[in-house]
Amino acid sequence: MDDSRNPQVDAAVGRADARRLTDELRAAVVEPRTAALVLTRRVRAAHRGRVWTALGHPSWDAYAMAELGVPRPTAYRLLDLAATAGVIEETVAREAGPSLAHAWDSWAVLDVRAVVDLRGRLAELADLLAERLGQLRAEAGGEPREPSRVAAAVADAVAELRESPDVPPADLHSVPGPDGMDVEAWRTVVAEGLGVQKRLRGGYRELGLLALRVAPGYLSDHDSEAVLHMLGEEIGSTCDELLACRRYALTGDARAVEGL
Tens-place pLDDT, residues 31-72: 544 467 788 888 989 998 999 999 999 999 899 999 988 888
Q: pLDDT class for 11, splitting at 50, 70, 90?
A: low
Overall size of the chain counted in residues: 260
Tens-place pLDDT, residues 114-151: 777 787 788 888 999 999 888 888 887 776 677 878 88
Q: What angle, rounded to 10 degrees, do the helices at 36-48 and 15-30 form?
A: 150
| Buried/exposed 210-234: b ≥16 CB within 10 Å, e otherwise | bbbeebebebeeeebbeebeebbee
Do residues 124 and 87 touch, judged by C-beta distance below 8 A?
no
Do residues 119 and 80 touch, judged by C-beta distance below 8 A?
yes
